Chain A
Amino acid sequence: MATLEHSAPAPVTDHAATSTGLPHLKLAMWLFLASDCLLFGALISTYVLYRGASTVGPYPADVFDIPFTSVSSFVLLASSLTMVLALAAIQRGDVGRSRVWLLATALLGMAFLGGQVYEFTSFVSEGLTLKTNVFGTSFYVLTGFHGTHVAVGVLMLLTVFTLSFAGKINQDSSMTVEIVGLYWHFVDIVWIVIFTVVYLIPTGNPAGG
């Protein structure tokens, strides 16, 4: 039987009364995430559409380094954990610990971005650019958009981290951390799909992995 620990009550004081009874900011974030699903749906569809259609290399199997990307995936998953720990801490009123977890999340996000920059650099050095073939185009556009989302998330995290020193992030305004967290977890679930569809599923290319 599963045991749920409910240590942090949902905040009640950080939003004005609304017609829905729900905080509009959080509702707006969910609406934004729903629309972002369509953006990534289009990008992933394009990648799948052109999968195995490249007539010249390098092909995915020539450039992908699965162990390296797996480590990047673990880093992003770990950042989702630190993000929820930051939220749990702020909901308990523990601003100090929340700050530590927020910074840890931002650092893990930066580590993921560093890995992506390294990966892109090594791919380019192996001859795969945005214009080399359809694999290069669809791969860089999809993962580049995801990386941009991660970079925006890191900026949001660092902003919240800085605001906490000005006393603007506390138990009553924990909704701010929750909203940033929703965005961060969305970036994580998009990567879960990208990691499977782009990296792990073999392509139809003769040289594909």
Chain B
Amino acid sequence: MAETHVDDPGSQTHAPAPHSGRHPGPREYIRIAIILGVITAAEVAIYYIEGAKDFLIPVLFFFSFVKFVLVVLWFMHLRFDSRTYARFFVMGLAGAVTLFLIVLLTFQVFSS
């Protein structure tokens, strides 16, 4: 799926670390940043659209999730680095979501 090429030939002299992949270059980072900016603009735009009130919350959560994943995978390099880092982070994230659900279920937020 991904085509790989090297911007800086001099960098080829460094062997990659055994457990960490190569990181993207500036152009890829800028591309991701533009996508993040467009999604944020879409989030704000949909907030003001009267007809979108019915599906506002799921759409906002979806946009937020996509932005979150893009930053974690590309800017924090989890897509390229060792899976051990990802395991640590997912463990914390799962803990946070569990905590969130336990608190809201305990106080019966969903039933009200």
Contacts and interface: CB of A to CB of B under 8 A. Distances in A.
Interface size of A as a range = 35 or more
A4 B8 contact: no
Given A21-B18, A34-B88, A91 B104 contact: no
B107 A49 contact: yes
B109 A49 contact: yes
Contacts of B27: 5
Interface in B68-109: 68, 71-72, 74-77, 80-82, 84-85, 88-89, 91-93, 95-97, 99-100, 103-104, 107, 109
Contacts of A195: 43, 64
A63 interface: no
Given A33-B89, A36-B92, A88 B26 contact: yes
Please classify the interface of chain A as helix (H, G, I), strand (E, B), loop, or mixed, using the class held by over half of its residues: helix
B67 A192 contact: yes
A33 to B, nearest CB: 6
A6 B29 CA distance: 11
Nearest to B63: A196
A41 interface: yes
Interface in B1-37: 1-8, 11-12, 14-30, 33, 36-37
Contacts, number: 201
Contact of B100 (A3, A11, A44, A80): A44
Interface stretch (A127-135, A146-154, A181-189): A181-189
A45 interface: yes
Given A34-B93, A77-B33, A200 B43 contact: yes
Contacts of A30: 85, 88-89
A78 B36 CA distance: 9
A81 B28 contact: no
Interface residues of B, number: 68
B11 A92 contact: yes
A88 B25 contact: yes
A48 interface: yes
Given A26-B85, A67-B44, A185-B72, 5 more contacts: A20-B84, A37-B95, A41-B95, A41-B100, A48-B109
29 contacts: A1-B1, A6-B4, A6-B23, A7-B6, A7-B8, A8-B23, A10-B22, A10-B80, A12-B16, A20-B19, A34-B89, A34-B92, A37-B92, A41-B97, A45-B100, A45-B104, A46-B103, A48-B104, A49-B107, A66-B47, A77-B33, A81-B30, A81-B33, A88-B23, A181-B76, A192-B67, A195-B43, A196-B63, A201-B56
Interface of A: 1-12, 20-22, 26-27, 30-31, 33-38, 40-42, 44-46, 48-49, 66-67, 70, 73-74, 77-78, 80-81, 83-85, 87-88, 91-92, 178, 181-182, 185-186, 188-189, 192-193, 195-197, 200-202
